[in-house]
Amino acid sequence: MADHGDTSGADASLNIRRVRAEIEAEAEARRRADPALARREREIERAWVDVAPPGAAGEQHELLLDRADRLSMIDVDAPVGARSGVRQVKGAIRKSIYWYLRYVTDQINALTNVLTRLLRRMDERLSAVEHAVGMTADDSELAGLIPDLSEGTAAAIAEELGAGQVVVLTSGAGSVVAAAMASGVPAYGIDRDPIAILPGVEAGLDLRATDPLTHLDSVGAGALGGLVLAGVAETLPLPSIVALCGEAVRCVRPGGKVIVAVANPADRGPVEAELRAGRGLSPAAWVRVLEHVGGVARIVPTPGPRITELVVADVS
């Protein structure tokens, strides 16, 4: 009975993930096909921010700044209602203390105006710093999407994995997750594109549509047996790669492995090389970075065709 219950729970979880992925993929497809739909979605998000409790609105920072602007002004013209008698009393009270409230609120409004302007200025400067150091991946379609890992590369990665939970960033349709699961290693994948993960989810893989660069923030120190960096890792500048490797080593327990599966920038075509200039590293450079953050790294040949070498770092 216990085994039957566990199986039912696993099936329910799988069905939930499948339905969620299908909904997210369909929403993303409609959003890309109809710009007006994206604008309406933005209006709904703005309305939600207005009524949502603190923390429930997610990372809608621009909408929250707009709401802060609207709430920063205090109005002293309190409503008096429409009931006869009460309206006159309230009106008399409001008129008698209006001068005092106006004097106080003018000072408060001046202060909140300066504070909200300062908050926006800080947001602009922080965004400029993030852009300057390349904290986000280059998701420009001009350079082309990073292809999913081949079955041969996925199998080579699975051979290097040990025991313990494995996370794949980014997973695509889940070739590495499937290879790891076939080897008896529990694994799940992260990819920001809900359409890309849909085939894998429908095949029963644990693939999640979220930002791979921020996912590790929610992973505890030493919680993973292994971490695979692919896809998005090819689109990052050096400062972000160093930070990502540091987070990877933090999340993987001693005895675990960080595996990097990326193509060598030297093999890029002339157009891609220009569009992704300064982003991505060769396997040899990944070895240097991983050793800098505390790993013991080596290069392992893999049967291509696009990726011919893996970087495997042992965490101690």
Residue 197 CA to residue 213 CA, distance in Å, equals: 17
> 206-209 long-range CB contacts below 8 Å, 24 or more apart?
206/17, 206/177, 207/17, 207/21, 207/171, 207/173, 207/174, 207/177, 208/17, 209/21, 209/24
Q: Does 25 score more than 50 pLDDT?
A: yes
Residue 290 CA to residue 223 CA, distance in Å, equals: 18
Token pair 């909140």 is at which residue? Answer: 112
- pLDDT tens column, 117-153: 888 888 888 877 766 655 555 545 677 788 889 999 9
Give the model's pLDDT for residue 1. 39
Domain ranges, ordered by start, for the chain: 141-315
Q: Does 96 score more than 80 pLDDT?
A: yes
- Helix, strand, coil share (%) of the chain residues, nearest 5: 60, 15, 30
Give the model's pLDDT for residue 2. 42
Q: What's the N-to-C CA distance of the chain in angstroms?
A: 41
Pick the more confident residue, 268 or 40. Answer: 268
Please give the structure tokens belonging to residue 312: 């495997």
Q: Does 5 score more than 50 pLDDT?
A: no
- pLDDT tens column, 186-212: 999 999 888 888 888 888 899 988 888
Please name the residues in contact with 171: beta carbons below 8 A apart, sequence gap of 6 or more: 177, 188, 189, 190, 191, 197, 200, 207, 230, 231
Please give the structure tokens belonging to residue 237: 């500048």
Nearest to 172 by CA among 231, 127, 225: 231
Look up the pTM and report it: 0.65
- Considering all CA atoms of the chain, what is the largest pairwise distance in Å, rounded to the nearest integer? 88
Residue 313 CA to residue 298 CA, distance in Å, equals: 6
**Average pLDDT over all residues of the chain:** 83
Angle, helices 194-202 vs 2-33, to 10°: value is: 150
Pairing relation of β-strands 187-191 and 166-169? parallel
Give the model's pLDDT for residue 83. 80
CATH 3.40.50.150 fits 141-315, yes or no: yes
Nearest to 263 by CA among 253, 251, 252, 276: 276
Strands, DSSP E only, in the chain? 166-169, 187-191, 207-209, 224-230, 252-261, 295-301, 309-315
Please give the structure tokens belonging to residue 66: 């707009």
Q: Does 9 score more than 70 pLDDT?
A: no
Preceding peptide of 170 cis, ω within 30°: yes
Sheet containing strand 224-230, strands side by side? 207-209, 187-191, 166-169, 224-230, 252-261, 309-315, 295-301
Least confident interval from 126-140, 170-184, 283-297: 126-140
